[in-house]
């Protein structure tokens, strides 16, 4: 029951973008699954002593999360911030409450591998569907008016042009590409081409950088020197042949507003923050440079809740590094560990330009990566101990 519900929840996150793709009026499928996961975890905790492994770390993460919000919430209380404003800020963060449930679900290597399969092929499905819709818009097979109305109401899609858009679920296309390169499943080269083509069609500079960083790190981690050399050569040839096109794309006037907005937000933050901001943040109701939304999640973290909250958001990375380094290169699950670790690195690179880690899209992946790497490190240690016993 726990694993089945977890896989349903993970599938919805991979396919459903920000959560409004599958909605029933004001109620979304993600909200229903969130409630079901919490109730299932509570029932399992009260009725059984099984699946307790990992609960200590999960509870620590949840407690640390709420503790890191205290400074900013104290500022909100002092400022008399409206409860609705606070709730709107905290709502997507509450998915941290699923950490104990996810820890229960990822109790063996098989569960970890099945979750990797969902991420890999779920991302592929998103890539194929998004490219098909773009092709349909370009050639008139998809009615732009109806699709635009639906996408505007859902808030899941942002148009670059009448036939090109960015879907929030594109994050998992990038993660899927890293999993594809790391795991090298059947027909992985063809799958990777499809995934990277979809990434390119998203016209999202931050996603380009994050995917490239994650894939290069994956090749380095798996010691695939020849593949890395070929990638670097291909990248160099591309820059020589199409460097001018790349520069025009990066600094295209249609994207200049978003580019300048990120720069001005960071500049404003660096010019205005003080010790009070570092210690307590400015609260959830305080705008940054006149904007409620902050594209850089690390800047958002300090600005809203103070440096303690930023330290919390770095915890998943520190924990993941600690578990990943304990998995030997020769271990049979090493490539699986590389996939989750490099996917998490991609998330941290991307969150400098797009706020994914502080919402359900990236947050759930971060939790899955932590407990997948934890499980794989435990199993790797058991294998090493077993070999030592057999040798003696």
pLDDT, position 300: 87
What are the residues facing 230 on neighbouring strands? none
pLDDT, position 157: 83
**Angle between the 109-139 and 360-391 helix axes, to the nearest 10 degrees?**
140
Share of the chain above pLDDT 90, in %: 41
DSSP category for residue 21: S
In a domain, residue 276? The reply is yes
Q: Would the pLDDT of 83 be above 80?
A: yes
Token match 């580019």: residue?
A: 259
Q: Summarize pLDDT for 92-147 with one digit per residue, the tens.
A: 899 999 999 999 999 989 999 999 999 999 999 999 999 999 989 888 888 888 88
Q: Report the DSSP pairing between strands 27-28 and 164-167.
A: unpaired
CB 72 within 8 A of CB 305: yes
Determine the average pLDDT of the residues in 245-254.
54
Q: Helix-strand-coil percent breakdown of the chain, rounded to 5?
A: 75, 5, 20
CB 283 within 8 A of CB 304: yes
Say which residue, 121 or 303, is predicted with more confidence: 121
pLDDT, position 336: 96
Which ranges in 184-333 belong to alpha helices (H)?
A: 188-201, 205-221, 225-250, 253-272, 275-280, 297-305, 307-324
In a domain, residue 248? The reply is yes
Q: What is the mean pLDDT of the chain?
A: 85
Question: Domains in the chain: how many in total?
Answer: 1
CB 37 within 8 A of CB 364: no
Say which residue, 385 or 196, is predicted with more confidence: 196
pLDDT, position 168: 87
Share of the chain above pLDDT 70, in %: 87
Q: Summarize pLDDT for 363-380 with one digit per residue, the tens.
A: 999 999 999 999 999 998
pLDDT, position 275: 79
Determine the average pLDDT of the residues in 269-290.
78
Determine the average pLDDT of the residues in 212-233.
79
In a domain, residue 392? The reply is no
**Angle between the 297-305 and 253-272 helix axes, to the nearest 10 degrees?**
40
Buried b (16+ CB within 10 A) or exposed e, 86-125: beebeebbbbbbbbbbbbbbbbebebbebbbebbbbbbbb
Q: Report the DSSP pairing between strands 157-161 and 23-24.
A: unpaired
pLDDT, position 340: 97
Strands annotated E in the chain:
23-24, 27-28, 157-161, 164-167
DSSP category for residue 229: H
Nearest CA-CA partner of 296 in 226, 247, 355 = 355
Q: What are phi and psi of 167, to 5 degrees?
A: -105, 135
**Domain residues for 373?**
2-387
Confidence of residue 34 (pLDDT cuts 50, 70, 90): very high
Residue count (the chain): 392
Confidence of residue 153 (pLDDT cuts 50, 70, 90): confident
Range in 44-58, 59-73, 131-145, 322-336 the model is least confident about = 44-58
Q: Would the pLDDT of 281 be above 60?
A: yes
Q: How far is 296 from 314, CA to CA, in rounded Å?
A: 14
Q: How far is 341 from 218, CA to CA, in rounded Å?
A: 9
Q: How far is 122 from 116, CA to CA, in rounded Å?
A: 10
Q: Would the pLDDT of 238 be above 60?
A: no
Say which residue, 265 or 280, is predicted with more confidence: 280
In a domain, residue 197? The reply is yes
pLDDT, position 109: 92
Determine the average pLDDT of the residues in 336-344.
96
């Amino acid at each position: 029951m726990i694993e089945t519900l977890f896989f349903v929840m993970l599938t919805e996150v991979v396919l459903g973008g920000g959560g409004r793709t599958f909605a029933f009026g004001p109620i979304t499928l993600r909200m229903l699954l969130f409630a079901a996961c919490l109730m299932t975890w509570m029932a399992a905790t009260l009725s059984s002593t099984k699946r307790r492994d990992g609960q200590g770390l999960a509870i620590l993460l949840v407690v640390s999360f709420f503790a890191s919000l205290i400074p900013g919430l104290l500022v909100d209380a002092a400022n008399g911030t409206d409860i609705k404003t606070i709730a709107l800020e905290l709502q997507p963060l509450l998915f941290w409450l699923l950490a104990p449930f996810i820890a229960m679900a990822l109790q063996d290597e098989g569960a970890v591998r099945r979750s990797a399969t969902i991420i890999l092929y779920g991302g592929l499905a998103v890539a194929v569907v998004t490219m098909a819709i773009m092709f349909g818009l370009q050639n008139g097979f998809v009615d732009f008016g109806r699709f635009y109305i639906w996408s505007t109401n859902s808030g899941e899609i942002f148009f670059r042009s009448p036939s090109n858009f960015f879907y929030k679920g594109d994050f998992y296309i990038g993660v899927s590409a890293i999993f594809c390169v790391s795991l090298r499943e059947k027909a992985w080269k063809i799958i990777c081409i499809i995934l990277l083509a979809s990434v390119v069609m998203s016209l999202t500079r931050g996603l380009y950088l994050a995917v490239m960083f994650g894939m290069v790190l994956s090749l380095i981690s798996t010691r695939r020197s020849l593949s890395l050399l070929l990638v670097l050569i291909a990248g160099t040839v591309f820059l020589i042949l199409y460097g001018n096109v790349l520069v025009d794309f990066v600094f295209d006037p249609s994207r200049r507003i978003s580019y300048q907005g990120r720069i001005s937000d960071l500049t404003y933050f660096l010019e205005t923050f003080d010790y009070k901001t570092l210690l307590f943040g400015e609260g959830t109701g305080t705008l940054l440079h006149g904007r409620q939304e902050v594209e850089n999640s690390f800047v958002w973290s300090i600005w809203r809740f103070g440096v303690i909250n930023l330290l919390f958001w770095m915890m998943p990375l520190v924990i993941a590094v600690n578990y990943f380094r304990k998995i030997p290169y020769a271990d049979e699950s090493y490539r699986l560990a590389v996939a989750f670790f490099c996917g998490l690195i991609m998330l941290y690179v991307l969150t400098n330009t797009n706020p994914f880690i502080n919402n359900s899209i990236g947050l759930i992946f971060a939790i899955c990566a932590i407990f997948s790497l934890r499980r794989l490190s435990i199993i790797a240690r058991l294998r090493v101990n077993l070999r030592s016993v057999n040798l003696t």
